[in-house]
Structure 1
Amino acid sequence: MLAAGVRGGPRRRRGPDPWRLGERRVHDHPAGRGLHRRRRAGERGGGDRPQLPGPAGRRDPLSVHRPRRRGGTRGGRCDRGPALLARLPPARWVAVNPRLPGLKLALFAVASVLVVVTIAATIRPFGSSGATRSYTAELTSASRLQVGDDVRVAGVKVGRVTKVSVTPDARARIGFDVADDLALTTASRLQVRYLNLVGDRYVALVDDGSSDTAQPTGTMLTTARTQPALDLNDLLGGFKPLFAALDPDQVNALALDIVKTLQGDGGTVRRLVARTAALTTGLAERDELIGSVVTNLDTTVGTVADRHRELEGLLAGLRSFVSGLAKDRK
């Protein structure tokens, strides 16, 4: 038989409200113990609720004071930290969670690793083993070619220039690396091309596919298998004798007459014909000069004919550049 006043054994008391952890309940203080028992027995306590001595201090929510139970020890503490944290709002959980600094550090470390991996993938794409093959080449001119410039095959970057030097016989020698899965053959040729209108260069490797014999690492390509970039100074210098023979005043006057004629000034047609005749007569009298111009342009025109595709690309890029400037001006 159970003892008098006890129903079904000791009754577990409800824990403190997690939203009001800083307040004390009446039965937690010795002065208020037994009040709830009298009320259960039908007794009404008179007066106001007994006040707890001392200010309402804040307790550690991880350790809650446990009242005395029958057959148990007085006072004591019970570790109900995880259960209370599960019932606390997120803001209070952040405030009392002692592992938060470590969690922040772990998140920062993960974010840093992701940033480093992204940068590494941008510099060196995934799938590249990093192994390379080294070759050298001799050119008659390596103007504006610098260490670190791209080495490309069909427009795709496969390596970079590692060295630019001068040989004792006044020739340029360059060293370059390519991917390990790309081997030069006896039919491979090297060309230096323009990368942009600013004048930057890159090395292009071309192969007509006439040979499948791979060349070992360290092979040097002679000048017979290399081609320097087109020198614009030679192209413009070929017209130097022609420009020197023309009279600037006559050219300016001819241009002015052409503009007036196009604007509808019919009186200048006679002067236009006269000035054109004078200019062409002066050129006809300089037969030897024109012959020297043709001779000077022979080499340049041949180079342009061999690289008509590059010239077309250059003109297309110049057109896009001028169009962009025109749009920016508007």
Structure 2
Amino acid sequence: MRAKNTRATITLAIALIVTLVIAAGIFAALRNPAGGETRDYEAHLSDASGLRVGSDVRLRGVLIGKVTAVDVRGTADGNGNEAVIGFSAQDDHPVTSTTRLAVKYRNLTGERFIEIQPGSSAGGTPTTSIPMSRTTPSFDITTLFNGLAPVLRTLSPEDVNELTRNLLGLLQGDDTTAAQTFGAIDRITANLADRQTVIKTLIDNVTRVANMINDYSPQVVEFILNFDLLLTKVLENLDEFRRTATYGPGFGAATNRVLTALGLSKDLDVEKLVRTAFQDPGAAVQAMGKLPGLFTGVAALLGAPPTPCSKGEAPLPNKVTVLTGGTNVTVCLK
């Protein structure tokens, strides 16, 4: 029994030692993941929200260092405060007088990291401090989601699903879903009209976020402007959607009745209809070949139009007329 307990104790001790070694390795990797020698730098930002000691420092997505300190200090002119962060970077990637720095989101849970942006190809002179003029601060993404929240609360998944089902049925040829489809569109457009203020608030919130990153993300600004223009046009023409929803089902039903009366239904056999109309395809092709000559004769009876030739038309030989099948061909004199 004593030997058994001794073996169990030894096994537990070995497992504990292995666990501690692995934990120490992970901790060391997190503290100093970048290989090679590193150098310490500092950067001045107007906002360092989300950054903490141990946050990543990356260059083109590659980890080259870690944040070593986050502090708040008074500005040099004494008119306020600024965030000062200390960070390390590999010696292979030195910071120069043209290097820029930006705080970016690592994920939507709020974690940030520092992105080092190399300067001009000239390189600049080595430095250990990046001023606020060459840094892009962090911004609060909750500003965007706070604007989205009212819109998300008003959206009804049932309405969206119903619209999808009705459109699918309509595209598959089920004409009974036409009225239901227009009804679903009417409900969604009415909801948009009621929430015009909310949508405008959302655009304003997104615009404020875009202004913070305007210098480095012109695509975001272009997207906001186009999105604003799209919503403006939609809101200006909501009455057209409502009229379509009101009169569309009746018009669609009447059109369907007319087409059915003409024999154009979904059960129409086009191939059979063509065989009935043209029992002899060869004769039909020959008859169609004579149509140009027929049209030319009718035009001659109605009176020839003025010649488009400034110097008159050249007469065609009889052989050429035969080759053209009686088609009126105009050849101008030089």
Same topology, TM > 0.5: no
**Higher-helix-fraction structure:** 2
Shorter-chain TM-score: what band? Answer: 0.3 to 0.5
TM-score normalized by structure 2? 0.44
TM-score normalized by structure 1? 0.44
